[in-house]
Structure 1
Amino acid sequence: MTKTTILTVVGARPQFIKAAAVSRAIRASSDFSEIMVHTGQHFDEMMSDVFFRELEIGKPEVNLAIHGGTHGAMTGQMLAGIEQCLLERKPDWVLVYGDTNSTLAGALAAAKLHIPVVHVEAGLRSFNRRMPEEVNRVLTDHVSALLLSPTMTGVRNLEAEGITRGVHHVGDVMYDAMLHAQKRSREMSTILATLGLSDGGFALATVHRAENTDDPARLQAVMNAIVETAGGLPVVLPVHPRTRQAIARSGTQLGSIRTIDPVGYIDMVRLLDGAKVVLTDSGGLQKEAYFARRPCVTLRDETEWTETLEHGWNRLWTTPDWKPRSDITDYGTGQAAEVVLDAIRAHQG
């Protein structure tokens, strides 16, 4: 039997995590094969290589090594590089995740060559077009053949934009990855002992989005809010390279916040498990906090993960308190990767 070839485009940490779940399902299948292309958007050891090792993802067949520069320059280089890969490899499908420049470049390159695009995490909307991620996700959705949404809210967002064909609610593949990693993290990770932390005795924070790092006044306000919200708890902040540069450039005062270098996924899951509260501007970490059943404060003025707000596990930093908590059923049971493959099979059939 001839296998269906999926060319997967990844480039950033959240995509490596999502790809781990789907790539594992592809390897276990009898009717799919995968070619993985890494754009190089996240490129250093602790932002890229460690995830491939820890999540047991095969080494990418292609690494375009494209990083740095403006959004336009980066996306343009990725578009050209991915197009060349598609012309050489001739896959049946191109699969993209989320909302990065790598996502948009992969989707555009495929659409222009009439190769059907699968967008995993379709339909998410913050309704803030000043965010580059919002532009990326909207444009990707409008050129995709299969739009696989983790939530029913995503399905409704697409319907409001006139997109109904090829739309499926599949659950969240990041939940699959988190469940797989949780047990390993408790067995393997020594991060709490290394940092002298105890379960429930600290807050975990991350800051990386341009809206928070590019304006020195906003960055200082975010750091002040982290310290205040932590309420005297020690705060651990794995520092994204962009954020480290912004802190140094602006002279931002961190107060009691303890910065550490970026950590791998296994250590990050262990930090999540051990934290009393999570403070972040990362979309992925908002969900991961819920998967670990830890309350989260989102350091943004809106979020695309509205279910986490409605079910009381997340609140915006401008909101005084959480709503009453309840489980979020939309994210599925940890089998979303299989549903992704089933959706592709059904579309082919």
Structure 2
Amino acid sequence: MEENIRKILFVTGARSEYDIMYPVLELLQQRRDVALKLVVTGAHLSDLYGKTVRNIEKDGFEIADRIYNLIGTDDKVGRIVGIGTQINGLAQCFIREKPDLVVVVGDREEAISVTMTAAYLSIPVAHLAGGDVANDGNIDNAVRYAASKFAHLHFTFLHKHAEVLRLLGEEDFRIYNLGNPALDKFVNCDWMKKEDILPVKEFNITNEPYVVVIQHPIISESADAGSQIEVTLEAIRETGYKCFINYPNSDAGNFAIIEKINEYANIFPDQFYLFRNLDRLNYINLLRYAGCLIGNSSSGIIEAPSIGLPVVNVGTRQRERFNAGNVIYTDYNKSEIYKAIVTSMTDVEYRNYVKQLVNPYGDGNSAQKIADVLSTVNLDDKLVYKNITYKL
């Protein structure tokens, strides 16, 4: 490998954060001064969650390693055991690949395992989406902050996220507030005809309004995950709207959610359509034509404002996370959810208000800026040896 070629290794464990990094990957792939590879792990490699590694292969990126770490249990211990397995695999991969820079996104287990492993090996590591704040009691918040303390470079999505990192003692030269690159593809994605969108075509509901559900479990509430999603589904059933349901993530409690959404799809096949995962083009267009997004996905906070999509956020996940104003928060209460759905679907004044909102997370021009920094930033001792800015 020539000395002027920078070896950059991205690590991805789920479709959600792969979609964030994809526009950056696409640009880095085109550079002659970068040798790009991916490490694929987590839900990407699981048949249960759609085996989305196939999408990565289709996109044409070189995969340096596949690290299988998901444990076949719905208990809380599964995630931490999986992290241990992941760290072991990452350490061996990093030693073998000898990357100049490692990149990871978000607040899933990959964020903490990657940043910690790279830091211990004195490999510069960049973290996207640090400094975000959600007062929902989810373990992902602690993971996000811990990952930031291990990381050497930060790409934040909001100015206030950059300020949080400064308050955490991160040096200013490490922080780049450049917006969310996922919006580059989300805003500029090709339009499909409604009837050509894969799940719409299979469900045959071209002329009817519909909603989309993405509801994940919360580890601290995992015992209640099944009853929580049932409340959401019952509220939707009473509205009568057709509904597309995406599989949840792999956190504890997901088995109960999967069982319940399969139950409703089987009992009410004319109203509920279930899918494990969609490619980026179909997913974005499914949301473009939707009446509202229901559940607790970050997609409702970060992406939905770019297409003027109302969101009903159910429960504690994503609470107090900064949003554009397109989100109605409800408790796990059927009547509250029902009312919020009806407002989102039929209140003309509210829907017009949501359509004119400006997405604070980016304007579709972030990826090039991030790719330029990753390709040119000095990977020297100053970057690797971290100091804390606050003094006692």
- TM tier, shorter chain? 0.7 to 0.9
Residues 17 and 51, structure 1, Cα contact 8 Å, conserved in 2: no
> CA deviation digits over 1:13-62, x for unaligned, max 9?
112212321110101223222121012333235241343256x2425221
Q: TM-score, normalised by structure 1?
A: 0.86
Tell me how far apart the structure 1 counterparts of residues 171 and 315 of structure 2 sit (CA, whole Å): 30
Structure label with greater radius of gyration: 2
- In the alignment, what sits opposite 1:245? 255
- In the alignment, what sits opposite 2:293? 278
- In the alignment, what sits opposite 1:132? 139
- In the alignment, what sits opposite 2:371? 341
> CA deviation digits over 1:254-305, x for unaligned, max 9?
4865141313223222211121111121113442322322111122325278
* DSSP-derived class of the 2:122 partner: coil
Taking a change above 3 Å as real, the CA distance of residues 206 and 213 of structure 1, as seen in their structure-2 partners, is farther
2:191 paired residue among 175, 179, 183: 183
> CA deviation digits over 1:123-142, x for unaligned, max 9?
112134x4121121111011
* DSSP-derived class of the 2:29 partner: helix
Taking a change above 3 Å as real, the CA distance of residues 213 and 222 of structure 1, as seen in their structure-2 partners, is farther
Residues 204 and 235, structure 1, Cα contact 8 Å, conserved in 2: yes
Letter in 2 for 1:328: V
Residues 47 and 262, structure 1, Cα contact 8 Å, conserved in 2: no
* DSSP-derived class of the 1:127 partner: coil
Tell me how far apart the structure 1 counterparts of residues 40 and 118 of structure 2 sit (CA, whole Å): 15
Letter in 2 for 1:218: Q
1:3 paired residue among 2, 5, 8: 5
Tell me how far apart the structure 1 counterparts of residues 36 and 310 of structure 2 sit (CA, whole Å): 36
- In the alignment, what sits opposite 2:105? 97
Taking a change above 3 Å as real, the CA distance of residues 9 and 237 of structure 1, as seen in their structure-2 partners, is same
How does 1:71-90 map onto structure 2 within 5 Å? 71-90=79-98
Are 1:169 and 2:213 counterparts?
A: no
Give the C-alpha shift of residue 248 in structure 1: 6.8
Are 1:314 and 2:340 counterparts?
A: no
How does 1:298-313 map onto structure 2 within 5 Å? 298-303=313-318, 306-308=321-323, 311-313=324-326
Unaligned runs of 5+ in 1: none
Are 1:160 and 2:167 counterparts?
A: yes
Tell me how far apart the structure 1 counterparts of residues 183 and 163 of structure 2 sit (CA, whole Å): 21
Letter in 1 for 2:26: R
Residues 207 and 281, structure 1, Cα contact 8 Å, conserved in 2: yes
Tell me how far apart the structure 1 counterparts of residues 201 and 262 of structure 2 sit (CA, whole Å): 28
Q: Which moved further from structure 2: 263-272 or 327-336?
A: 327-336
- In the alignment, what sits opposite 1:67? 70
Are 1:236 and 2:266 counterparts?
A: no
Taking a change above 3 Å as real, the CA distance of residues 117 and 71 of structure 1, as seen in their structure-2 partners, is same
Q: Which moved further from structure 2: 5-14 or 295-304?
A: 295-304
Are 1:219 and 2:229 counterparts?
A: yes
Are 1:331 and 2:361 counterparts?
A: yes
Instruction: Indicate the structure whose relative CO is greater, using CA pairs within 8 Å and at least 6 residues apart.
Output: 2
Residues 219 and 252, structure 1, Cα contact 8 Å, conserved in 2: no
* DSSP-derived class of the 1:67 partner: coil
- In the alignment, what sits opposite 2:347? none
Taking a change above 3 Å as real, the CA distance of residues 182 and 153 of structure 1, as seen in their structure-2 partners, is farther
Give the C-alpha shift of residue 340 in structure 1: 1.0
- In the alignment, what sits opposite 1:260? 274
Q: TM-score, normalised by structure 2?
A: 0.77
Give the C-alpha shift of residue 249 in structure 1: 5.9
Give the C-alpha shift of residue 175 in structure 1: 0.6
Residues 203 and 273, structure 2, Cα contact 8 Å, conserved in 1: no
Tell me how far apart the structure 2 counterparts of residues 195 and 163 of structure 1 sit (CA, whole Å): 49
Tell me how far apart the structure 2 counterparts of residues 19 and 305 of structure 1 sit (CA, whole Å): 25
> CA deviation digits over 1:125-165, x for unaligned, max 9?
2134x412112111101111111011122112223323243
Tell me how far apart the structure 1 counterparts of residues 125 and 40 of structure 2 sit (CA, whole Å): 17
Letter in 2 for 1:167: I
Residues 115 and 147, structure 2, Cα contact 8 Å, conserved in 1: yes
- In the alignment, what sits opposite 2:24? 22
* DSSP-derived class of the 2:44 partner: coil
* DSSP-derived class of the 2:294 partner: strand
Residues 296 and 315, structure 2, Cα contact 8 Å, conserved in 1: yes
Give the C-alpha shift of residue 105 in structure 1: 0.8
CA RMSD of aligned residues (A): 3.1
Tell me how far apart the structure 2 counterparts of residues 96 and 271 of structure 1 sit (CA, whole Å): 27
1:207 paired residue among 215, 219, 224: 215
Aligned length: 343
Percent identity reads: 17
* DSSP-derived class of the 2:36 partner: strand
Tell me how far apart the structure 2 counterparts of residues 50 and 186 of structure 1 sit (CA, whole Å): 25
